[in-house]
Every structure is written in structure tokens, then in C-alpha cells.
Structure 1
Amino acid sequence: MHSAIDASNTRAVASVIGNSPNLSRQVMSTREVAKLTGKGHDNVLRDARRLVAEGVLKSEETPYQHPQNGQSYPEFLLSQRDSLVLVSGYSSRLRAKIIDRWQELEARVVGQVQIPQTFAEALRLAADQAEQNLQLQQVIEKQAPKVAAIERLAAAGGAICITDAAKQLQVQPSKLFEWLEQNRWIYRRRGSKRWIAYQPRIAAGHMKHKVTALKPDPETGVERAAFDPLVTPKGLARLAELKAGGSL
């Protein structure tokens, strides 16, 4: 049994990095793409999922927590490359809005960079940078056992059922099933009690199906099979990362 992963350490890493004025923003959410283009977020998500299934987008679907109601909703955090690929099928006017936004963000980062004008300012900047590096190193050292636990999960052999995955992650099975459904890892067909993995999750290597042969249909004689979703080692490691970040 692996030890629980402390999410506060991961947030601390983000805090140290986020306080540095010399680091540029690397991602754009599909929610921001929807806002800039005037499209519904559901439509942007649909386009992103289609491109992921086609192997064109490299970004992964990641839940975000609404600040007002505390509920989790799906989104993609897109690199500049993926955001431009996503809107490549949109009109030139909408593509221009995304390009202009990236240029605005890059210009803002450049404007934040302050070049020391005196020897004293250079010493102060060097001291601040050294302090930030020390803080980051301390956080990394504290997080190392948790990272090792995630790596062990990724190296584990064979896919496991969702209930066993919940045990590995030290969460309630009912909570994990609910989270997987809300975040589009699994779903049920109408009128069926069986869970099925979403195709993008299978394509990403996070899940697979165990196929069990059933007795032929007594009326038609057609062969039947049951599909049970399993979490792969890669999927288990991804869930552990999300738990460490407080999203699960």
C-alpha cells in the first residue's frame, strides 16, 4: 500500500515558480479559447477531444474546480502549439484573436523583466534568485518520496479494475467512480449498468477494456461480449498526479 500524497507540497512548487517574473505563461485553457472566440466551451471541448482522438493534439483533458460552486468541470490546458492547431479550422478572424492573445501574453512577460541598473541591484537580484532556488530545492526534496510513489505506480505491471485502483490511491471506490464519470474517463450506455471507458482515455493509454465472452443471445444466436474498464499503470500514475494536485 502506498502512502497518501500530500497535495500542499505540489502547490508549494507552483507558488515558488509562479512568483518568478522571468517565467512566461506556457498554457491557454479551452475556457479562454471559448471566451476569446465566442464559442461555447462544450463546442471547444468537443473539437479538442476529436483532435486528441486523432492524435493531433498532445494536451490532456484536466479538470478544474469552479471557484464559486466548488464543482469540477473538464477543460484542456493547451500549449501554444496545441491552441493554434485547435483553432486552425476556425475562421481567420477567430484565429487572429488567439494569435493576438499569445503575443499579448509574451509581450507582458518581456515587459516584466527588469534589468539591474546598478551593482547593488544586481546583487539584490542574485540574492533573490538564490533564495527562490533554495526554496524550490527544499520543496523538491520534501516531494521526492511522493514522486517516487507515483513512479512506482507507473512501473507496476498490468491493468487493474477501478476498485483496486481506488485502493492503490487510498480513496473511496465510490468517490473514484464518481470522479471518473464526471471527468469523462468512463460512462454508461443508456439502460446499461456496465461502465465503459471513453475512447480518448484508451488512446492516451490511461485505460483499457477486459473483454469477457458471454453466452450467445438465446433468440438470435449472436455472440455477445462484456467490456469491463481497467486502469493501466500509466492511468494510475496520472490519477496519482491529479490527487497530488488536489484535483481528485
Structure 2
Amino acid sequence: MNIQLNTHTINSLEVAEMVERNHRDVMRDIRNIVSQLGERKIAHTPYFLETKYEHEQNGQLYPMFLLTKKGCELYSTRMTGTKGTIFAVAYIERFNQMEQVIQQNLPTDPLELALTAALETRKEVAEIKEDVDFLKDNMRINTYQEKQLQDIVKRKVMASLGGYKSTAYEMLANKAFKSAWRDFKNHFGISTYKELPATKFDEGIQLLGFWEPSASMKFEIAAYNTQPAGATDSGWEVRN
């Protein structure tokens, strides 16, 4: 068990004031206790937690301990007589005051308690929903969806060029593929089709369904596909 952030503690500076001792001496006593606990392999964290504080005069950081109520009880065993009694009264009163402050700030009406709990739960759910929405908005398409887009582009280009065995496909396939993907990327403002947000996948499918070569490319396709056989090898090639 460790000291949690919401655990009530008092610091060693306050302890030094309560027992009317130098803070350095209180720190030494606590370190001795921690060392003794360590020798017996007993965790000291349910009792003491070393931390730092900023000196109000020079702004430098100095070590101090936080003591739980159990830590105060353990420390009080180092004192006997009147001083021990005074310290016990002081820290008991201090912890009781902290408990009272917390109790005063909590709602006492059962309905109010239930509503408070419900509001906290609702807040947590809202935060989780925000995280999920963020992930959904920023998640990219998966490899299966990438393959679907690739297949659509391949079919559209092949159909536009007149088939796999057409002269236009042989001469313009690379140019046509680049054109299709360039239109796709420009529409979505991305540098590669793989960056397409998953939420935009259906829109991407629809966009590719509408794709067709530009008027200039259609002219080239027609020119290649209406040439006599072997014309591209004898000076008839239409240049890209």
C-alpha cells in the first residue's frame, strides 16, 4: 500500500513545529525509522513519503516527508512524556479537521449523492466518447480497403483505355493511373491514397466511380486505338 494522492497527510515541517524541534532533527528521526523498517523488509510508504518543498526565502528545493496518520502514530513512539502526549493530541486534531472539511464539502442528501455520482459517470463517458470520436476521425483505411480502391482504379483505367490489350493501354497506362490517383489525392487533400481517413472510405469509392480521363487524355486514347496495327512502331506514336 502506498500513499495515494487523496490520502490525508501532514508534512515534516508541521511535525517539527508541533514537537518544537528543528526540522533537520525530525528528518533524521524519520530516516532512521525508514531505515529500521527496511532492515525488517517492511514498506515505509504507508507511513512516510519523501518529497521536496520550496523555501519561501531563497526559492530553493529542500527535502521533507509527508506523514500519514499511521506515520504520525509511528513517529510518536519515539517520544515519551509530555511532548509525546502533546504531539499525539496535535496530529489527531489536525487529521480530524481534515476529515471534517471533507465531510462538509460532500452532499448529505441521498438523492444529491446519487446525482453527483451520475454526473461524474456521465462526464467520464463523455470523455471516453471524445477519445473514440478522435480515433475514428483520425483512423486511416486498412489494407483491405486499400486493395478495394486499387481494384477500382485498375478497372476504371483499363476500361477507359480500351482494355488490357489495347494500344492506348500499352502507351498510356502509367499516365492514366497517375491521373486517377492525382485526382483522388487532390480531392481529399492527402499525399497518398493510403492516408485516406476511414470515415471517408465510402466517399472515396464513390469518387473513383465517377472518375474518367480528361478530355486531352481521351483524345490521345482515341488516337492510339484508331491507329493501324504497328503504327506506334513506324512513327505514328502520339506523344504524352
TM-score bucket (shorter structure): 0.3 to 0.5
Q: TM-score, normalised by structure 2?
A: 0.40
Structure showing greater Rg: 2
Higher relative contact order (CA 8 A, sep 6+): 1
